[in-house]
A and B are shown apart, each in its own frame.
Chain A
Amino acid sequence: EAAVTQSPRNKVAVTGGKVTLSCNQTNNHNNMYWYRQDTGHGLRLIHYSYGAGSTEKGDIPDGYKASRPSQENFSLILELATPSQTSVYFCASGDHTFSNERLFFGHGTKLSVL
Chain B
Amino acid sequence: KTQVEQSPQSLVVRQGENCVLQCNYSVTPDNHLRWFKQDTGKGLVSLTVLVDQKDKTSNGRYSATLDKDAKHSTLHITATLLDDTATYICVVGDRGSALGRLHFGAGTQLIVIP
* A-contacting 9-mer, from B13-21, B40-48, B62-70, B72-80: B40-48
| Chain B residues with CB below 8 A from A94, complex form | 97-99
The contact string, 1 if C-beta is below 8 Å from chain B, for chain A 34-76, is: 0000001111110010100000000100000000000000000
Chain B residues at the A interface, C-beta cutoff of 8 Å? 2, 4, 31-32, 34, 41-46, 49, 51, 89, 91, 93, 96-99, 101-107
Q: A42-B4, A42-B89 are in contact. Are A33 and B43 (CB under 8 A)?
A: no
In order of increasing CB-CB distance, the 7 nearest A-B pairs are: A42-B104, A105-B43, A43-B104, A105-B44, A101-B97, A100-B96, A107-B43
Sample of 26 A–B contacts (CB below 8 Å): A4-B43, A31-B99, A40-B106, A42-B103, A42-B104, A42-B105, A43-B102, A48-B98, A48-B99, A92-B43, A92-B98, A94-B97, A94-B98, A94-B99, A96-B97, A99-B51, A100-B51, A101-B96, A101-B98, A102-B46, A103-B34, A103-B98, A105-B43, A107-B42, A107-B43, A108-B42
* Contact across chains for A45 and B102 when beta carbons are under 8 A apart: yes
